[in-house]
Amino acid sequence: MRSWQRMFAAVMRLLLKCLRLGRRRRFKLVRQVEQLWHYGQLCLHSLLYNSFTNGDVVLDSLFEPIYWLVDHVTRWFGVVFVALVIGLTSSIVAIVYICLLPLILQTYTPGWICWHLAYGHWNLIMIVFHYYMAITTSPGHPPQAKDNLTGVSICRKCIAPKPARTHHCSICNRCVLKMDHHCPWLNNCVGHYNHRYFFSFCLFMTMGCIYCTISGWEMFRDAYAAIERMKLLEKERLQVAANQTYYQTPPPAFSFRQRAFHKSVVYLWVLCSSVALALGALTLWHAALITRGETSIERHINKKERQRLQKKGKVFRNPYSYGSWDNWKVFLGVDVPRHWLTRVLLPSPHLPHGTGLSWDLPPCVTEQRTPLLAI
């Protein structure tokens, strides 16, 4: 009898413990729901309390989860994009060496052969060099300590000194000196130390694609016409074979090597012409920004500042612009005339002007910079 009482008491104690545990879990869940509710109210009050809040701020807040998803997807797919660039470029180079170069050596005159060999290999070297440097070169990051830094602000995301022209990259999760943008095709930010490499890669890649498109136009037309003939003959061969026995089926009109050659030429021309259009437009856009002494981010900032000052009857002057010609000299690092050959037309790993922390007048600039504001 006592054993049954002990067992009944033990079961009741276990039941009471389960009830208390379930009650604690319910209380914990209720507290979490209350915390989320208060947090949402706080976010809503923060949007409505600030007098500078407008529709853009509310829209950015609503799209913040989408921005977070895009940043993380771009970060993980950067390696895939780099592999894609290397793979497509290697395929074009392989087609040129295997299919087109023997044809050029057999049919072209010695002068044209020398031109194609010299220009083609020079363009290829410039593409490979600048792409490798753009990937491997750090864009530059400000120091974490505020020593020897004057007139800097504090980044509200990484809580670190933020010099002029520095912006925070949400994908790299770091501040970047003279940040232009984060390029997924480089899997790297474009900033102070690799901006020239990025633009040079875009420029020489566009030039190479235009070169392949123009020089391969006749080959493309012949290859496309040959592929259409292949399709027509293949259709006729199948129609004839349907009315004959297996041993009377005629052989194919084109060999596998001929088919591969014609399709490779068509693939080369279509890919190069498409890249020339897309990358050429991007190169012209960045060339216009360099001419004005701006980055992609500064273009939007300066546009808003220009509109704000225009309402007050003032004119905005970019303090980092030294004139169109001098902007290009500063960007390319051309200090003396011979640098146009050694630093622009040939691969050069020279550093840009300045450290990205301060923006003093470069020695190659002939005129003084314009003031920030002019009434």
pLDDT of residue 39: 73
Residue 364 three-state SS? coil
pLDDT at residue 19 in the model = 53
The reported pLDDT for the residue numbered 214 is 93
d(CA 105, CA 97): 11
Token pair 């208390």 in the structure block, residue:
20
Residue 371 has a pLDDT of 45
Asked whether the beta carbons of 221 and 215 are under 8 A apart, the reply is no
Split at pLDDT 50, 70, 90, the class of 372 is very low
What tokens were used for 209? Answer: 């694609």
Decide if pLDDT at 92 tops 90: yes
pLDDT at residue number 249 = 52
**pLDDT greater than 90 at residue 89:** yes
The pTM of this model reads: 0.77
Note whether 227 and 262 are within 8 A (CB).
Answer: yes
- What is the predicted pLDDT for the residue at 71? 65
Confidence of residue 243 (pLDDT cuts 50, 70, 90): low
Q: Return the DSSP state at 358.
A: -
Place of tokens 């276990």: 14
- Cα 329 to Cα 367: distance, rounded to the nearest angstrom: 13
User: What average pLDDT does range 2-10 have in this prediction?
Assistant: 62
Confidence band (pLDDT; 50, 70, 90) for 374?
very low
Residue 183 a catalytic site member: yes
Interatomic CA distance for residues 207 and 121, integer angstroms: 13
Residue type (1 letter), 261 = F
Name the CA dihedral angle for 344, 347, 350, 352, rounded to a multiple of 10 degrees: 50
- How would you label 102-134 residue by residue, b for 16+ Cβ within 10 Å and e otherwise? eebeeeeeeeeeeebeeebeebbebbbbbbebb
Tens of pLDDT along 17-55?
655 555 555 566 777 777 777 777 776 666 665 555 666
Sign of CA dihedral 328, 329, 333, 338: positive
> Per residue in 316-342, pLDDT tens?
888 889 989 999 999 999 999 999 999
Report pLDDT digits (tens) over 105-139.
Answer: 888 899 999 999 999 999 999 999 999 999 999 99
Q: Which of 183, 189, 209, 212 is catalytic?
A: 183
pLDDT at 85 over 70: yes
pLDDT confidence of residue 36 = 77
For 245-285, the pLDDT digits (tens) are 545 555 556 677 888 899 999 999 999 999 999 999 999 99
Query: What percent of the chain stands above pLDDT 70?
Result: 74
Do 210 and 280 form a contact (C-beta atoms < 8 A)? yes
